[in-house]
Amino acid sequence: MLQGLMEIGLFKPNLTEKSSTSTTDLASIKFKNADGKIVSLADLNGKIIFLNFWATWCPPCLAEMPSVNKLYEQYKNDPEVVFLLVDADSDFAKAQAYMDRKKYKLPVYNFASNLPKSIFKGSLPTTIVFDKKGRVSFNGEGAADYNSPKFITFINQLKALKN
């Protein structure tokens, strides 16, 4: 039902109210993939980072996942855009089983550091987009359609900004 409501436009990412230009110490924010590779957000300097916190037991998270996957499919080969889907339960097997069942190729990560409350307050789903300079350009809580034309335009505008 949530997916249907997103498709008709009820759950659109609010690109104006939750934007910020504050810079965070990205070196202190780290995530780990299933192979154990640690990624610091500072390592992704110069890239747009789409960071999504989710869990397999969270209905709104699962409802927005098709739109996140469609957005990922559009940008997966773009070297300027990086996707990190962080499983709030830190259970790679369960998260990967969900991705495999749905045939999603989204990159799953777990926490490898503490996160500032300004980034993640614990609500699921939460999506944060950092611009190329490491500034929070979007911080949204709750399910949304991230494959909407407005959000795609937003990502493309971030891509057009000089580093």
Report pLDDT digits (tens) over 41-80: 999 999 999 999 999 999 999 999 999 999 999 999 999 9
The pLDDT value given to residue 119? 80
Distance set, CA 112 to CA 33, 38, 41, 108 (Å): 9, 7, 11, 13
The pLDDT value given to residue 117? 80
Cis peptide before 125 (omega within 30 of 0): yes
| Pairing verdict, β 108-111 and 81-87 | parallel
Query: Measured between alpha carbons, how far is 100 from 132 in angstroms, rounded to an integer?
Result: 30
**Under 8 Å between Cβ of 92 and 76:** no
Between 47 and 27, name the one with better pLDDT: 47
The pLDDT value given to residue 24? 61
Between 35 and 3, name the one with better pLDDT: 35
Report pLDDT digits (tens) over 73-126: 999 999 999 999 999 998 999 999 999 999 999 999 999 988 888 788 889 999
Query: Measured between alpha carbons, how far is 48 from 162 in angstroms, rounded to an integer?
Result: 12
